[in-house]
Chains A and B, each alone.
Chain A
């Protein structure tokens, strides 16, 4: 579940919010001048971005206020939260952050220094520097 920081209420569970679709879709200056295709484009066609996406959210069980959010549709990383009516902020995307939660520390379920030792196992010598022995077919 996402933990969303409402600008008014602070961090709350995703279930308290409602999604409002893509942000920054302007209402046409002169709707009467549009033909059916352009009107349909305005009504129904939205970006389907892979990566950072600007979207609207409503804190429906809290303060009942709308706000905008920049969210990475790939990693669900929330990059920015900003008020309605303000332009999309520039967010510098961190270079392909490995945002997994797995820890490289010793297994937390073990205690003390009794982490499983791999030095004695037969596969240990294969752990040589990856740059020296890139697998065949690996791309740069």
Chain B
């Protein structure tokens, strides 16, 4: 029998929800090296997959909801609470905090669907598709460079951009949020592998630096 006392969250499900890397929480805390590189999961972001021609009328209606649509690879647009990541010429991912989800009192998905209307394209709730790893610290770039072929040097990968690529052979969307902090969006089934891969890549920084 379900414990009905635990089902008091919104929709009765919030308190029993488990994120894809929930079981790694302790390992992520233990593997983080404060001051060098810190990894944690930022679970349950609201994500919407948007496919629309950005030059069309529906595209401009959606851009009005999200605060613009990115025009080219790497660009991130949005407001304080929503970031819109470029996945393809007519494919975007809107990422917002958990509270923006319609089931929790927000209206991100609903307002996007309303903006699209009957026009060609789609708005799909992909909140459960990917999880979010937040990697930060002065060594964060060195950790990612062990498994990512892109040029992550700040001269070419600047804060406020996002690229679809592979990290540790796992397809992820890699967003640079600040000088030394990154967000990785792997699909849920890859969260365990990528979480452990990142922990392994971070392990050397727990030891004293060898000159």
A15 contact set on B, CB distance < 8 A: 149, 166
- List the count of A-B residue pairs having beta carbons below 8 Å apart: 34
Q: Which of A40-48, A49-57, A58-66 contacts B (4 or more CB under 8 A)?
A: A58-66
B149 contact set on A, CB distance < 8 A: 12-13, 15
Whether A61 contacts B73 by the Cβ 8 Å rule is: no
B25 at the interface (CB under 8 A from A): no
**What separation, in Å, do the CA atoms of A136 and B64 have in the docked complex?**
77
Interface residues of A in 1-45 (CB under 8 A from B): 8-10, 12-13, 15-16
Q: Which of B14-22, B83-91, B93-101 contacts A (4 or more CB under 8 A)?
A: B83-91
**What separation, in Å, do the CA atoms of A8 and B72 have in the docked complex?**
7
Task: Decide: A64 near B166, CB < 8 A? Known: A9-B73, A10-B73, A13-B149.
Answer: no
The listed residue (B72, B88, B163) touching A65 by CB distance below 8 A is: B88
**Could you tell me the dominant secondary structure of chain B's interface residues?**
strand
A65 contact set on B, CB distance < 8 A: 88-89
A12 contact set on B, CB distance < 8 A: 149-150, 165
From B72, B89, B164, B171, residue with most partner A Cβ within 10 Å: B164
Interface range for A: 10 to 19
The listed residue (B88, B150, B166, B171) touching A63 by CB distance below 8 A is: B88
Chain B nearest CB: distance from A8 CB in Å?
A: 6
Task: Decide: A64 near B88, CB < 8 A? Known: A9-B73, A10-B73, A13-B149.
Answer: yes
Chain A residue nearest in CB terms to B73 = A9
**What separation, in Å, do the CA atoms of A12 and B73 have in the docked complex?**
12
Whether A61 contacts B89 by the Cβ 8 Å rule is: no
From A8, A13, A62, residue with most partner B Cβ within 10 Å: A62
B73 contact set on A, CB distance < 8 A: 8-10, 62-63
Task: Decide: A62 near B89, CB < 8 A? Known: A10-B73, A13-B149.
Answer: no
Whether A64 contacts B165 by the Cβ 8 Å rule is: no
B165 contact set on A, CB distance < 8 A: 12, 16, 61-62
> Which B residues have a C-beta under 8 Å from some C-beta of A?
72-73, 87-89, 91, 149-150, 163-166, 171
Can you offer 5 A-B residue contacts whose CB atoms are under 8 A? Answer: A8-B89, A9-B163, A61-B165, A61-B166, A65-B88
